């Protein structure tokens, strides 16, 4: 049965994204502008029709304090806009915009996620998310912690190296149909297992290729959503939870924060046709499937997922866009999008999307 939206329900009414560029020669603001111009053009509205604008990005990627301020130019800062920012993936910007619209005084919001990873070494940047006293000084970066997590998963009997390679093979094959993918193509599990280790038991292909890119979407309250599109995609649940940044205080073979967010968002309230998961390391799909309670009848990362292209700070928002596109096109009726932040799946956001009237 189709979802019947109430007055305060919010829908995605437009989406846009750039390709995942291994290196984009222009500034980040150009990536944002590409998305925003397409988004507003497709919706047939002007910038001053948007009541709230919010972006997610990371100044550490460019190494410039308050770099996010210049990105506002790409969203259209004149006349002055009601704007906010989160130093997080754009999926968390969506969470704030979703809450903001429920206040009822405005009816349209724009959400942007963007990042340029090519100027920096992400492994040197994101180890700063770790405990500043014990872990960060060691330089224990997210890829190293992912290797530890994958080893724990294998030692617990919950996965094998072949299972991890299967995730990569499926992602690469699915990405062949995604024009925005950075890496795609058919590769066998045996070929993948023959590659040398990077952070054992992980190999280089088990880690998402960092990219430059941006993504954006428009959300609107019920009545305005119906005016803007014939195929609104309703956000029926949205929740996020966080765990300790001390990896030793967590069971790395499980994701309790994902499980809690899934319960809060209502994942189990209906069948899940498609799921896009923020898997920056291949073994994470195995953990997330279990935490979300996804069965074999759910299509996982049909876009190829982050293993086919990881535009940092837009990757989680892109997962939501990919699910929304499939529902709007009629290829799915209900889906789940997941975003993650922090090493070893420390913080997780779950968004349930559904078709409706």
N- to C-terminal Cα separation, the chain: 10
Tell me the CATH architecture of domain 122-206+235-355.
3-Layer(aba) Sandwich (3.40)
Superfamily of chain region 10-120+210-232: Thiolase/Chalcone synthase (3.40.47.10)
Whether residue 78 has pLDDT greater than 70: no
Rounded distance, CA 230 to CA 227, Å? Answer: 8
Please report, for the chain, the start and end positions of each structural domain, with discontinuous segments joined by +: 10-120+210-232, 122-206+235-355
Tokens of 136: 């960060």
Task: Give me the chain's average pLDDT, please.
Answer: 94
pLDDT band at 2 (very low <50, low <70, confident <90, very high): low
3-state secondary structure of 93: helix
Task: Look at residue 1 in the predicted model and tell me its pLDDT.
Answer: 56
3-state secondary structure of 146: helix
- What pLDDT, in 10s, does the model give residues 144-159? 999 999 999 999 999 9
Whether residue 275 has pLDDT greater than 70: yes
3-state secondary structure of 333: coil
Average pLDDT for 197-207: 97
Whether residue 131 has pLDDT greater than 70: yes
Residues 107, 221 contacting (CB under 8 angstroms) = yes
Task: Look at residue 73 in the predicted model and tell me its pLDDT.
Answer: 82
- What pLDDT, in 10s, does the model give residues 56-77? 998 888 777 777 778 888 887 6
- What pLDDT, in 10s, does the model give residues 278-294? 999 999 999 999 999 99
Instruction: Tell me the pairing of strands 274-276 and 202-203.
Output: unpaired
The CA distances from residue 195 to 37, 191, 200, 286, in Å, are 42, 7, 11, 21
Share of the chain above pLDDT 90, in %: 80
* Number of neighbours of residue 332 by Cβ within 10 angstroms: 24
Evaluate whether 10-120+210-232 and 122-206+235-355 have a shared fold: yes
Whether residue 357 has pLDDT greater than 80: no
Rounded distance, CA 53 to CA 85, Å? Answer: 9
Task: Look at residue 345 in the predicted model and tell me its pLDDT.
Answer: 97
Rounded distance, CA 54 to CA 82, Å? Answer: 8
> Which distant-in-sequence residues (6+ apart) come within 8 Å of 224 by Cβ?
13, 107, 108
Give strand pairing partners of 217.
15, 111
Residues 50, 108 contacting (CB under 8 angstroms) = yes
- Positive or negative CA dihedral for 39, 45, 47, 52? negative
Question: Strand runs (DSSP E) across the chain, as ranges?
Answer: 10-17, 52-56, 83-86, 108-115, 197-199, 202-203, 210-211, 213-221, 233-242, 274-276, 299-300, 310-311, 334-341, 347-355
Share of the chain above pLDDT 70, in %: 98
Rounded distance, CA 103 to CA 96, Å? Answer: 11
């Amino acid at each position: 049965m189709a979802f019947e939206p109430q007055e305060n329900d919010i829908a995605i009414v437009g989406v846009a994204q750039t390709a995942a560029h291994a290196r984009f020669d222009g500034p980040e603001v150009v990536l944002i502008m590409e998305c925003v111009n397409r988004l507003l053009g497709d919706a047939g509205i002007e910038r001053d029709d948007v009541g709230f604008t919010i972006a997610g990005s990371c100044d550490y990627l460019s190494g410039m304090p308050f770099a996010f301020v210049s990105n506002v130019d790409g969203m259209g800062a004149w006349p002055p806009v009601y704007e906010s920012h989160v130093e997080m993936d754009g999926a968390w910007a969506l969470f704030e915009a979703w809450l903001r619209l429920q206040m009822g005084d405005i009816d349209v919001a724009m959400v942007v996620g963007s990042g340029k990873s090519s100027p920096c070494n992400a492994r040197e940047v994101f180890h700063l998310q770790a405990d500043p006293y014990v872990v960060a000084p060691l330089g224990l970066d997210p890829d190293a912690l992912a290797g530890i997590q994958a080893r724990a998963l294998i030692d617990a009997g919950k996965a094998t190296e072949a299972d991890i390679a299967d995730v990569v093979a499926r992602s690469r094959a699915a990405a062949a149909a995604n024009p925005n993918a950075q890496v795609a193509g058919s590769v066998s599990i045996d070929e993948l297992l023959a590659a040398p280790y990077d952070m054992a038991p992980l190999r280089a292909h088990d880690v998402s290729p960092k990219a430059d890119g941006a993504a954006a979407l428009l959300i609107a309250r019920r009545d305005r959503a119906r005016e803007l599109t014939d195929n609104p995609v309703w956000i029926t649940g949205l929740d996020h939870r966080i765990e300790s940044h001390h990896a030793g205080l967590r069971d790395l073979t499980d994701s309790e924060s994902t499980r809690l967010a899934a319960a809060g968002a209502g994942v189990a309230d209906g069948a899940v046709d498609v799921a896009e998961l923020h898997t920056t390391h291949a073994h994470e799909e195995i953990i997330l499937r279990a935490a979300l309670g996804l069965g074999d009848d759910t299509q996982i990362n049909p876009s190829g997922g982050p293993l086919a292209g990881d535009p940092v700070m837009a990757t989680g928002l892109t997962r939501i866009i990919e699910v929304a596109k499939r529902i709007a096109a009629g290829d799915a009726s209900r889906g789940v999008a997941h975003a993650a932040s922090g090493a070893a799946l420390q913080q997780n956001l779950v968004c349930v999307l559904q078709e409706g009237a």
